[in-house]
Each structure stands twice: as structure tokens, then as C-alpha cells.
Amino acid sequence: MKSIRSRIGAALGFTLTASLVLSACSSGTSSTSTSTPAPATSTAPTASAAAQPKLDPYTIKMFVPGVPQKDQELVNAEISKYLKDKINVTLDMQVIDWGSWADKMNLKYASNEVFDITWTTSWDNWVGKIQNKSIIPLDDLIAKYGQDAVKIVNPKVMNGIKYNGVTYGMPTNKEFAANKGFLVRKDLVDKYKFDLSTVKKPEDMEPFFDVIKKNEPGMIPFLSSKGNALFIAVQEANFYGASSSATNLGVLDRNNKDLKLVDLYSDPRYMDMLKLANKWYKAGYINKDAATLTDFAGTYRSGKVFAFPETLKPGKDMEVTQASGQKWVQVEFTKPLITTGSVLGNMLSISRTSKNPERVMMFLNLLYSDKTLLNMIAFGLEGKHFVKKDANTIDFPQGVTAQTSGYSLGAPYMFGNQFNDYLWTNEDPQKWEKYNKFNTDGEEAKGIGFIFNNENVKNEISAYTNALAEFYPGLITGTLDPVEYLPKMVEKLKAAGMDKINKEVQTQLDAWAAANKK
């Protein structure tokens, strides 16, 4: 198999234009590695910040999705004290629950609310934010105030997140492959002596779900929602998105080598997946409010969930264990895959309404170079939310758990250089090395580097998305019978312009393939 140096060179060395050109890269003889852990760095002010004779006070307002934390203001205050002598910044970080993230952020953009930083990713209408000028270009700011960050993040990654040759977000230095599966409550696995080694496909979980349903009153065997359903765990075994801002369009078949899009809704494998979800819903394995549930993370942290679908990586079960206070174990159904979406991954972008983008970039730069700052944002305050066991290992203080801690955000992957994060005592000491191997073992998706420009079909995508909302949540959660309702949904999607969108994606994909000799 190609080394990760060669693969990520091919996967990330591209400039995102309307039809994107994938940069060529030499063979795996390079000494750089995309996800090699960066050494711990000094917490001294950066050269760019130190060079400033005096910085006026400035408050940075930052929005990220997740589970809102009780001690958020306390953590913000301590981070602000830490930053005062560095870049004279007060941090106002606010966490918006996942269920309302998109709607609330769209309102902020529409109302021109003044703020500085937003979390962004490829699937969260990233291209739309760029086209609407909701987030700003960063290249000049990076050149002046982001020197430490670009020393740490592989240049191929920085090139790989460009759109039309321009940088619009600072990427987390992290893993770039992903696989899919379930997270399952370990205490219940042990209690009923479930043998998870026998689970090769989702259907193999059914006997376990049945035991939980019969013996654990109030427990949800398989938590689902309109954004986190069975398809999350199994769809990528057969399908993945080439690139489109419309759900389930621009889809390629993982098992074929060509770059021809498939009609997902007419594929029998998709129908089989919907039928399985419907079977589970009728059996009582899936929560009755799945189609309307918004607080997915809060629900699985409640102690009333046996299993739920998740995007996985090495140690994902331990990360969720730490954040939720319940022990989980992961069950994998797909092999690691590196896609355009996964290399774009997690980014922090600067809002067009920011009053001081220069100071904001100084702050973002510190997330890569300042280990103390990074871990305060990721894990809270030493002595209150965690205690250090050694230089790089932490645990909860005595008597404190993830459920009683006032700060258990569980989202270190959103910030800066993840290889500078502390590890919890229950995490694998070789976690970062395993991230490297995970990337190395990851299959490179066909068409990696292509990203769709939706300008020609913006109206159709809007109509398609509105039509999708009527039936899609019910179908993917198993609430609706797919035999009856999938044809009804497809009829409305076609009327909204589904075929035109797919045709436009294929046209751009063909042009990209020709330009890159694919």
C-alpha cells in the first residue's frame, strides 16, 4: 500500500477551483508526514504577537457546535487571563447544541451579527459560506500572523483546503481517514455477555437489541435521529459523496473504479438499508422520536442508550467514554476511507463581521503553538476539570466524573494541533501513532480532490433540500415504510431538480477527471 506521505500528497495537494486540479506529488520518499505528532511547543508568545509594542484589548466571540457546558464562562475567564499578556484578548467561546447549530448560525449570518470565529467543515455548507462571503480569505493574515501554524500543519494540507486557490479556514492537525460503525455501552455488553466479535454487519446486533429491549426498561437499544441514523454506520461500505452540497447527490459507488455517479435512491442496497431501519423501528429498537430528535448527544449521554451510529477512528470509543462518563466500545462496519470531505475535515474560520481579524489570527495561531491554551479549551481547568498524572496524561480530579464535571466538551478534534492534546489515563498511550497507521491504511477515494461548484444549480439545490425535508427524516430513521414513501419522495425530488443537479455534478467531475488524467 502507498505510504501516507504519497497518499496524502495526492489527496491533499490540490487547489480547490470550480473544477479543481489535483496536484501531483512525488513518491513516498518525502520526510514530511501529514499527521505525524508535532512536538510540544513553548507557551511563550509568538514572534508575531511579541513584535507588537502594545495591543489594545479585544474580545473574540467564537461559536462551535457541541454540548453546552456549565462551566463555559469560568473556562473562558481563565483562558482570557492567560491570554492577556500574550495577545490581550478576552475569549467568549459559546457552544451551540448540534441540533440547532445550522439554523442558529444561518440566522447569525443573515442578521450580520458581529462575531469572530466559527467552526466549519465540508458538509456544513462550507462552499455556501464562501460564496455568500460569510467567512473571509485568510492567506494574508496567515502570512503575517500564522507562522507557527503553517510550520506545524503539512503544506499539502494547507493547500488541500483552498477553494479557488484561497484559504478560508485553519484546519485541525489530526487524522484524515474515517470509518463507520456503532458505539455500544460496554457495561451492558459485559452484563449480558454479548460477544461483539460475532458482529460483522448491523443485522448481527439484533439479538443484543432484543435482550436490551426486554430486560432494560426505558433503555433505547439503538438511538437514531434525522442526522444520525443507520445509514451513517453502513452507507459508506458501498457509497460516498464525490462532492455536492445536496444530500445524497453526487454519489459514487465505492466498489467500482469509474467516476460515474449512481442514482442512490434507485439502488437496491439503499432500499435494503431503509427497510432494515424500518424493521428496527417497528421492533421497538429505535426511539419513537427519532425523526424529530434534536439533542442527539445529550440523549446518548443520558444513560438511557445502548448503541448509536458514529464516524469512527482509533480511540473514538475512549473519547466518548471520557466525555460522557459511560464506557463505550466501538463496532466497525466499514474500512477506513480518505475522501475530499475528510481531508477538509474540521476548520476554524473568521467571520466577515469580525472587527479585528488580525488579532483573531494571532489567537488561531496560538492553538497550534501553545499547548497550555489548546488543552484549556479542549479539557478545561487544571485542578478543577482535570489533574495531570504526568506531562501528557490527565484524569478527572478525585470525586469528579464526566457527568459531574462542569466542563467535558469532548471535542478536541475541533481545535488547532490535536497532537498536542493531553491523553486521558484510559486512552491508549500509542493513540497518535495509531492515527498515523489509520491514515496509512485508509483507502483513497476515487475523485479525491474534486469539489462541486453549485453556482449553476443553486435554485435547484434549495428546492431539492426543501422537498427532501418532508420524507427523508422519517425514511432514514425507519419511522416511515420505504416501500410506500421512498417513491413519493423521489417523485418530489425529481420535480425539484434532482436530475439536473446530478448532471451538473457529473459534468464537473468529468472535466476534473480529464484535467487530472483520471
Q: Give pLDDT, residue 53.
A: 60
Q: Are 117 and 63 in contact (CB under 8 A)?
A: yes
Q: Give pLDDT, residue 128.
A: 86
Q: How many CA atoms lie within 13 A of 358 on its CB side?
A: 8
Q: How far apart, in whole angstroms, are the C-alpha atoms of residue 244 and residue 262?
A: 13
- Strand order of the β-sheet with 305-312 is 220-222, 305-312, 179-185, 328-332
Predicted confidence (pLDDT) at residue 87 exceeds the cutoff of 70: yes
Q: How far apart, in whole angstroms, are the C-alpha atoms of residue 113 and residue 102?
A: 15
Q: What domains are defined for the chain?
A: 4-20+43-176+342-442 (3.40.190.10), 179-335 (3.40.190.10)
pLDDT digits (tens, 9 = 90+) for 201-236: 999 999 999 999 999 999 999 999 998 999 989 888
Q: How far apart, in whole angstroms, are the C-alpha atoms of residue 89 and residue 116?
A: 12
Predicted confidence (pLDDT) at residue 14 exceeds the cutoff of 80: no
Instruction: Give the total residue count for the chain.
Output: 518
Q: Which one-letter DSSP state was computed for residue 183?
A: E
Q: Are 202 and 276 in contact (CB under 8 A)?
A: yes
Could you tell me which of 220, 218, 240, 242 has the C-alpha nearest to residue 231? 240
Q: How far apart, in whole angstroms, are the C-alpha atoms of residue 177 and residue 4?
A: 10
Cα 510-135-444 angle, rounded to 5 deg: 35
Cα 413-89-44 angle, rounded to 5 deg: 70
What Cα–Cα distance (Å) separates residue 437 from each residue in 176, 193, 340, 432? 11, 31, 19, 9
Predicted confidence (pLDDT) at residue 10 exceeds the cutoff of 60: no
Q: Give pLDDT, residue 496.
A: 97
Nine cell digits for residue 229: 441514523
Mean pLDDT computed over 250-258: 90
Could you tell me which of 171, 302, 319 has the C-alpha nearest to residue 310? 319
Q: What are phi and psi of 236, to 5 degrees?
A: -70, -10
| Amino acid at site 136 | I
| Lowest mean per-residue pLDDT among 220-234, 240-254, 385-399 | 240-254
Sequence-distant (6+) residues with CB within 8 A of 389 are 395, 425
Mean per-residue pLDDT of the chain = 87
pLDDT digits (tens, 9 = 90+) for 443-480: 888 887 787 888 899 899 999 999 999 999 999 999 99
Could you tell me which of 508, 510, 499 has the C-alpha nearest to residue 452? 508
Give percent of the chain above pLDDT 90: 67
Q: Give pLDDT, residue 175.
A: 84
Predicted confidence (pLDDT) at residue 86 exceeds the cutoff of 80: yes
| Count of CB atoms situated within 10 Å of the CB of 47 | 12
**Long-range CB contact pairs, 24-28, < 8 A, 24+:** 25/156, 28/2, 28/3, 28/4
Q: Are 152 and 39 in contact (CB under 8 A)?
A: no
Q: Is the pTM of this model over 0.75?
A: no
| Amino acid at site 238 | N
Q: Are 154 and 33 in contact (CB under 8 A)?
A: yes
